[in-house]
Amino acid sequence: MTISERADADALAAEHASGLHIRLIDDIDEHAAVRSLIEQVWRTGERNPPVTADMLSAMRAAGGYVSGAFDEHGLAAACLGFFAPPAERRLHSHIAGALPRTRGSGIGFALKLHQRAWALHQGAETITWTFDPLIRRNAYFNLGKLGAGVGAYLPDLYGTMDDAINRDDITDRVMARWSLTAPASVAAAGGHPRLSSIADETDAAIGLSADGDERPVDGRTDAATVLIAVPADMEAMREQDPRRAADWRLAIRRTLGALIAEGATVRGFDRAGWYIVDRGPVGRTEIS
C-alpha cells in the first residue's frame, strides 16, 4: 500500500467514525454556505467576513482546497487551504470551523485527514497552519492528535481581530508544520497520537507556570528541557478577566516565543497543559 493509499484509507475511516460525509466544494452556492458557517463559528459578523464566496471559488479554480462536512441537516463543518512556496510542495490551511452540533463527533480530525490525503495526491509534502498557543485543546490536537511539529512563533500575526472569540486580544500564533509522511504523522493518522507527559521530564526546568489564582509565573528557561504552562481555559479568561489573559499572552511570548526564536524544538504537549521544549544546537526541526 502506498502512502497515498494508506492516507485515503485513514481519512475514510475517520470520516465514517464521525458520521458525516466530507467532500470538496466547487459550487458557488455552497461556497456561500461555507462563508456563512465560518462567520457563525468565528462570530465575526457580516461586516468582517474571514472568507467570501467569490474568494473560495477563486481558490478552487486555482487548485486550492475547500472542503465541507455534511450531516442530515446540511453543511456542518468546512476547511480551506492554499498552496505556498516552495514549488507547491506545501499547502497552507488557512481556516476551519465546525458547528456546535458536531461536537464530540471527531469531525475536526476527519477533516484534517481528508485534507492530508488530498494534499498527498497533489504532490504536497507538508501542510502548515497557525494556532493560538494559549488554547490548550488546540495545542494537544495539533501536536498530539495529528503529530505535527512547530515551525515558528509569529507575534501579532493578524493584528487586532474584533470578532467575538479573539476579543481584541493580541494575535500571537504558532505555525504548525505537518510533515505528511513523517512517522509521527503516519502513526497519528492511523489512530496512534503522540502522547507526552511531564512526569517523564524529571530534569526539566519550569519556564512558565501558574500560581493559585492562575496568573503566569516566570521561571527558568536555561535548562536542556523547559516546560511551559498554558491556562486551563484561555477563551473564558479573555471574556471574564481580560487583564489576566493579556498577562498570559505576554508571558507565553517571552518564554515559548523566545525559546522558539532561539532555535528550540517543541517536542510535545502534555494534555494537562504543558509544552515540552528542548533547547540545544539542533535548532527547529520537524518532529518525527
Global pTM value = 0.89
Whether residue 161 is found in the same domain as residue 260: no
Q: CA-CA distance, 127 to 263, in Å (whole number)? A: 21
Q: CA-CA distance, 220 to 218, in Å (whole number)? A: 7
Whether residue 62 is found in the same domain as residue 178: yes
Whether residue 202 is found in the same domain as residue 184: no
Strands (E), the chain: 21-24, 65-71, 74-84, 90-98, 126-131, 149-154, 173-179, 205-210, 216-218, 225-229, 265-270, 274-278
Number of domains in the chain: 2
Give the Å distances, CA to CA, from 106 to 9, 56, 89, 218, 235: 16, 25, 27, 35, 21
Among residues 167, 189, 211, the one where a domain terminates is 189
pLDDT the model gives residue 285: 40
Report if residue 162 sits inside a domain.
yes
Whether residue 70 is found in the same domain as residue 174: yes
* Helix runs in 102-241, H state only: 107-121, 136-140, 183-189, 234-240
250 pLDDT higher than 80: yes
Q: What is the pLDDT of residues 196-242, one digit of tens each?
A: 999 999 999 999 999 999 999 999 999 999 999 999 999 999 999 99
CATH number at residue 136: 3.40.630.30
Beta-carbon contacts of 273 under 8 Å, excluding residues fewer than 6 positions away, are 136, 229, 230, 231, 232
38 pLDDT higher than 80: yes
CB 226 within 8 A of CB 207: yes
Whether residue 66 is found in the same domain as residue 93: yes
Whether residue 80 is found in the same domain as residue 139: yes
Q: CA-CA distance, 208 to 168, in Å (whole number)? A: 24
166 pLDDT higher than 70: no
- Residues 114-139 have a mean pLDDT of 96
* Domain of residue 104, residue span: 3-189
pLDDT the model gives residue 84: 83
